[in-house]
Amino acid sequence: MIIGSILKGKGGQVVSVGPEDTILSVARTLAEHRIGAALVRDAAGAILGIISERDIVGGMAAHGPGTTGLKAAQFMTRDLVTVAPQTLVTQALGVMTQKRVRHLPVLDEAGTLRGLVSIGDLVKARIEEAEQEAEELKAYVTAAG
């Protein structure tokens, strides 16, 4: 299975915040959408980075009280790890493990944002794939038997 198949099912909508948004605003956005990360984009829509719950917790630990008023640009991860729509789910899981990230923006060959996948999306896809394989094997054994 490829990442593009996951995006067909979940859609390409990506929640974004601005670099000047406060950490409180970002936290509220994440809570409202029940997500663990959001892309940070400028007014023209260019991707500047990603901000996750992990970034917020690390920033709070580093900056202490008053953190909620600081800006997303101060906490975001600037070096994005991305995948393409044709990337295999197993490859994307490997990238997540190696780079220790839980969210991957999906960019096409032109660099256009196509969506965002989470570790949960990929694990769900692998489970569905394994269940389908098991059913196919069961049907094969039943037919052969």
* Domains in the chain: ranges and CATH: 3-144 (3.10.580.10)
Query: Is this structure's pTM higher than 0.85?
Result: yes
What is residue 129's predicted lDDT score, i.e. its pLDDT? 85
Tens of pLDDT, residue by residue over 82-132, are 999 999 999 999 999 999 999 999 999 999 999 999 999 999 999 998 888
Tokens 């009280």 map to which residue?
65
Using only C-alpha atoms, the chain has a radius of gyration, in whole angstroms, of: 18
Q: What are phi and psi of 28, to 5 degrees?
A: -65, -40
Helices (H), the chain: 3-10, 23-33, 53-63, 72-75, 89-99, 119-144
Q: Where are the alpha helices (DSSP H) in 81-118?
A: 89-99
- pLDDT tens digit string along 14-73? 999 999 999 999 999 999 999 999 999 999 999 999 999 999 999 999 999 999 999 999
Q: Considering only CA atoms, which of 83, 77, 11 is closest in space to residue 40?
A: 77
